[in-house]
Chains A and B, each alone.
Chain A
Amino acid sequence: MTVHTGQSTAKAAGEGARGRGRATGERPGRLRRALSTHWYAWTMVAPVVIVLGVIIGWPLGRGIYLSLTDANERNVGRTIGANHIDATYEFVGLDNYVDVLNDPIFVQRLVWTVVWTVCCVSTTFLLGLVLANMLNRQFRGRAAYRMMLILPWAVPGFVSVFAWRFLFNRDNGLLNKVLDGGGISAVPWLDDPTWAKFSVIAVNVWLGVPFMMVALLGGLQSIPGELYEAAEMDGAGPWKRFLYITVPGLRAVSSTVILLSTIWTFNMFPVIFLLTRGGPGDSTEILVTQAFRQAFVESPRDFAGSATWGVLILAVLMIFAFVYRRSLRKQGEVW
C-alpha cells in the first residue's frame, strides 16, 4: 500500500514540477514524499492533534495573548440580554510582565511556593519510601494496612481538606481539644502565619503520601529478590542493602514521581485555597492562588494580570523540568 501511493505521487509530481522544481525542489520533494509515505499515520494522529490543539493549544495561546493586553472584567466585550458592551481592551506589550516582576509580591509568593513545594515533596517522598519499605514484606494483615494507607487517596480532596479545617479550628477544633486534655494550650493552627504554613504542608503531605507509597511499592516489587539474597550472603546489613540495592533500583520510579509531585504541589490550588484561603492575611498564598485571586476574587476581575501570572508559572515549571531532566541525564538516566 505504501509503495503504491509512493509511486502515484512520484508520477503526479513528475508531470509539471520537474522543470522549475530542479533548483529549489529538493526539500519540499522529500517532505511531500514523507507525507505521502506515512499519510495513514498522519490521519490517525490528526484527531488527537486537533483535540489537543483546541483544548490546550488554543487556550494557552489565548492566555499568552491576554497577558499582553490590559483585559479586565470591565473592558472585555459581552452581551447580557439587551445590553451589549464592546470590547475596549488594548495591546500593551510586556507591560504586565514588567509590573509583575517589579512587584515585591511576586518574589514573596515565589519564595514561599518553592519552600512549600520542597517541604511537601521531600516529606511526602521520605514518608512514602519508609511506608513502602515497611509494607514490602510479609506480615499478618498486610492487605488491611495497605487499604488504610490508601484511604486518604480515596476520599475526594475537598472533603479531606474541609475535614482538616474543622480539626484545625483553634477554638472548637478536635486537635486543640485533644491538646487541651493533655494540658497543652491551644495552638493557633490556621491563625498564625508560621503555624498556618505548617498546617497546609501537613495536610498536603497527608494527601500525597498514598500516591508516593503506591508508586514506590510498585518500584520495590520490581527489584529482584535474588539481589537481596546475594547481598545478604556477602554479609551486607539491612542498611547497606537498602543503600546499594533499593535506592538505585528505585531510581527510575522515584525520579518520575518526584518530578510529577513537584509539578502538582507547585500548583496545588485546593489545599491552600480551601484550608486557609491564602491566609491568615496572605501568608500561605502560593502563585496559583494569587493568580486565582486576581481573576476571581478581586473586582473588577483582572484577566490580563492573572494570565501573566499563569504564563510565569508555566515558565518556572518548564525551566525546572528542563534542569531536572538535564541533571538526570548526566547521571545516565534514559528518560
Chain B
Amino acid sequence: MRRGIAATALVATLALAATACGDSDSGDSGEKKSSGELSGTVTWWDTSNDTEKATFKKIAEDFHAQHPKVTVKYVNVPYGDAQNKIKNAFSSGSDAPDVIRADVGWVADFASLGYLDKVPDAKAKEVDSAFLKQAAASGRYDGQMYAVPQVIDTLGLFYNKKMLKDAGVEPPKTLEEVKTAAAAIKSKTGKTGLYLRGDDSYWFLPFIYGEGGDLVDAKNKKVTVDSPAGVKAFKAARDLVTSGAAITNATDGWNNMETAFKSGKVAMMVNGPWAVADAYAGDEFKDKANLGIAAVPAGSAAQGAPQGGHDLAVYAGSKNRDASHAFVDYLTSQTVQVQTTKALSLLPTRTAAYDQPDVKSNEMVQFFKPAVDKAVERAWIPENGALFEPLKLQFTKAVTGASSPEDAAKASATAFHKILKDWK
C-alpha cells in the first residue's frame, strides 16, 4: 500500500510485460488429430444478458453430445466489461477464452491487433453465400473474415400497448409525435412517455441518423459528428428531456430503463431484440400481447437505427483451434439459430432460417427483420469501439444539460480526431 503511488505506472507496465511473455506454445498443438476426431476443452466467453444466459449455456453444453471428447466451458461475461476483459485475456494469453461472442463493433479492433484467428476458407465461403449480407460484412477486416455472425439486431421503439391506448395515442413515428404522445400519456395516465438511455453512445445513433448525419464518413476519411446534423442530433435528444417527454439517467441506465419499462413507469423505450425476453419477465407484460414494437422515431430528416449484433470469433492463440472453429460452426448452425429465436426472439443471421416456421411465426422477428434490412450499416473500422467512449461522455453531458449540443458535438469531433489521426 505504501507504494500504491506507482500503481498506475505499474499496471501499465505489467500489461506490457505480460504481452511480452504471452503464449509461446507452438501453433500446431491444436491441429486436427490424424483420426479426425475433435477433443479437448473449448472455453466460450458469452456476453449475453441475464435473461438470455441460461439458454446459451444449455446450447453450449449440447455440443458435447455431438463431440463427446470435447468439453465446453461456458463462461458468462457481462457485456459492459467484456471488451476490456477480452483484451486483457488476449494480450496476456493466460486463461484466455478460445471462443468469444463479440459485439459487431469490436471485431475489426480485435482483428487489427492480431488477436483473432481467421475463419477457415470453407466456412467463410458458406458465410458469404448463406448468411445475411450486412451481417457477414461485420466479420470482415482488411479483406479477411475473422468472425462468424451469430445474431443480428437493431433498435426499435418498444411500447406498452395498454398505456398508449389509455392515453388515446398511436405509436409515434417521429420525435415530434413522441413529444405530443408523451404529453397525452402524462395527462391521461400520469406516467412518463419515454425512457431515454443517456449513458450509452449506441442510443445516440438513431438521433444522428434521424437528422441525416453519421459519426464518420469512412469512405472519405472524414469526421462528421460535428456537422450541423450532429449538433441537431444532440439538440433533439436534449429536447426530449427538457420537454418532459423523456426521463434519463447518467448512471445505471440499462437497469433503470428496464425497471421503468417493465413496471409501467414509462410507456416507451428504445431497445433491441435482446431486451424482449427481459421485458416479458416484467409485470406489465405478463400478457405478452401488451408489448408493441415500432420503428425508432424519425428525426427531422430521416428514420434510421444502427445495425448491431454479435459475432463469434476464435482466439488466435487458442490451443484448440479446430474444436473451437467446430464449436462456432455449431453455434451458427441453422438448428441453433432457430432454437435461440424461439426461446429469446433473437434474429438469425442465416437467410434460410427465416423460412423456418418457428422463426416466421415469431412476432418480434416479423417486426425486426424489415427493420434490420433498413438498418444503417456502421463503418467497420478498428476504431469503432474507441469512438464510443468519448461519444458516451458527450452524449451524457448533452442530455443532462451539463454542456450545450454545440459543445458536445465539437468535443466529440476533437476526441475523434485524436483517435483517427490522419482523418479530415
Binding site for B on A (CB under 8 A): 56, 59-60, 62-64, 66-67, 71, 73-74, 76-83, 85, 165, 169-172, 190-193, 196, 263-264, 267, 269, 276-277, 279-283, 288, 291-293, 295-301, 303, 306-307, 309-311, 313-314, 317-318
Q: Is the CB of B249 within 8 A of A77?
A: no
Contacts A59-B9, A165-B252; is A303 near B114 (CB within 8 Å)? no
> What sequence of 0s and 1s flags, for each residue 221-259 of chain B, a beta carbon within 8 Å of any chain A beta carbon?
000000000000000000000000001011110011001
Residue B260 CB within 8 A of the other chain: yes
Question: Contacts of B267 on A, CB cut-off 8 Å?
Answer: none
Q: Is the CB of A80 within 8 A of B9?
A: no
Minimum Cβ distance to chain A for residue B319 (Å): 9
Q: Is the CB of B389 within 8 A of A298?
A: yes
Q: Is the CB of A191 within 8 A of B400?
A: yes
Find the B residue at minimum CB distance from A83: B114
Question: Contacts of B176 on A, CB cut-off 8 Å?
Answer: none
Count of chain A to chain B residue pairs whose CB atoms are closer than 8 Å in the complex: 180
Q: Is the CB of A73 within 8 A of B91?
A: yes
Question: Contacts of B113 on A, CB cut-off 8 Å?
Answer: 73-74, 300
Closest 7 CB pairs of A and B: A63-B9, A280-B250, A310-B8, A310-B9, A81-B317, A81-B316, A82-B27
Subset of 27 A-B contacts with CB under 8 Å = A56-B10, A59-B13, A63-B13, A73-B91, A74-B113, A78-B22, A78-B91, A80-B315, A83-B114, A169-B255, A172-B256, A191-B250, A267-B5, A280-B400, A281-B393, A288-B7, A293-B389, A296-B84, A298-B386, A301-B15, A307-B12, A307-B13, A309-B8, A310-B7, A310-B12, A317-B5, A318-B5
> What sequence of 0s and 1s flags, for each residue 1-29 of chain B, a beta carbon within 8 Å of any chain A beta carbon?
10111111111111111011011100100
Residue B406 CB within 8 A of the other chain: no
Q: Is the CB of A80 within 8 A of B10?
A: no
Q: Is the CB of A310 within 8 A of B251?
A: no
Q: Is the CB of A81 within 8 A of B5?
A: no
Residue B207 CB within 8 A of the other chain: no
C-alpha gap A225/B19 in the complex (Å): 60
Contacts A169-B256, A299-B386 known; list 15 others, CB within 8 Å.
Answer: A56-B6, A59-B9, A60-B9, A60-B10, A80-B115, A191-B249, A191-B250, A279-B250, A280-B250, A281-B393, A283-B402, A303-B12, A306-B8, A307-B13, A309-B8
C-alpha gap A311/B402 in the complex (Å): 31
Minimum Cβ distance to chain A for residue B101 (Å): 18
C-alpha gap A71/B15 in the complex (Å): 12
Residue B109 CB within 8 A of the other chain: yes
